[in-house]
Structure 1
């Protein structure tokens, strides 16, 4: 593993930890009730992070995982069963993504790219760009979860004491 990949994966692990810290201790009602004007719940955001980021970018595109590619669906539209299942699903796919990312060559092309009718965008130049997309998505949504959590119980994720 290169120093660059090690650093990127460390930042990704930190962002994922931030996501999980933002939802830690919330009960089922808090995880599944709408928290944004658009109507999304924390569980729906976790589905987005799971399906549209960990499964899509991490496992399928970067990892070339055929089972993950078969699981691709719009995480925002996926019905929420329980908040606990959304958290567990996110944890499970993060673990699977990590195993695949440990072997990624950042200079190589993505190991898989979806068909045009599924994702009508040209392939990224290399795996590095795909990993950066996963990192940006995760950190962005960690911030969204911070705002949602603060609205629920006042908890703040402070990075500077």
Structure 2
């Protein structure tokens, strides 16, 4: 494994742990009630991270994984059954994706790209750009979850004097 890939995946893992720490100990009601002015719940944000980021960017595009390609959908529109299932789904798919990213060649082209009529954006040049996209999305939404958690019970992830 190259040093770059090792570092990149270590940062991704740290942000995933951040996501899970932000939701740890929340009740079912806290996971599923709207927490943002736009109306999303923590469980809905976890579905977004699971489907639109882990499954889409890492599983389908970087990994070319058939199972992931079969699960592609708008994560924001996936119905929430329970908050606990949203958390467990995120855990399960990050673990699955870890296996796909374990031997990724960052310089290689993505193994799959959606058809233009479905995803009207030009393909990323290499797997590195896709993994960076996944990292940025995960870190950004970890921050959103921190804000939601602070509104729920005052808990703060990182407090600087």
Distance 2:44 2:159 in 1: 25
Q: CA RMSD in A?
A: 0.9
* Structure 1 runs of 4+ with >4 Å offset: none
**Deviates most, 107-116 or 44-53:** 107-116
Distance 1:87 1:115 in 2: 30
Distance 2:4 2:83 in 1: 35
Relative to structure 1, the CA distance from residue 116 to residue 37 in structure 2 (aligned partners, 3 Å threshold; closer, same or farther) is same
Distance 1:159 1:153 in 2: 15
Distance 2:116 2:45 in 1: 25
| TM-score calculated relative to the size of structure 2 | 0.98
Q: How many residues align?
A: 161
Distance 1:46 1:111 in 2: 25
Match of 2:18 in 1: 18
Q: Spell out, residue by residue over 1:62-110, the C-alpha distance to the aligned partner (whole angstroms, 9 max, x if none).
A: 1110110110000001110000000000000000000000110000000
SS at 1:25's partner residue?
Answer: coil
Report the alpha carbon displacement of residue 160 of structure 1 after superposing the two structures with TM. Answer: 4.5
Pairing 1:79–2:79 present: yes
| TM-score calculated relative to the size of structure 1 | 0.98
Match of 2:36 in 1: 36
5+ long unaligned stretches in structure 1: none
Distance 2:27 2:2 in 1: 40
Match of 2:155 in 1: 155
1:7-156 aligned within 5 A: 7-156=7-156
5+ long unaligned stretches in structure 2: none
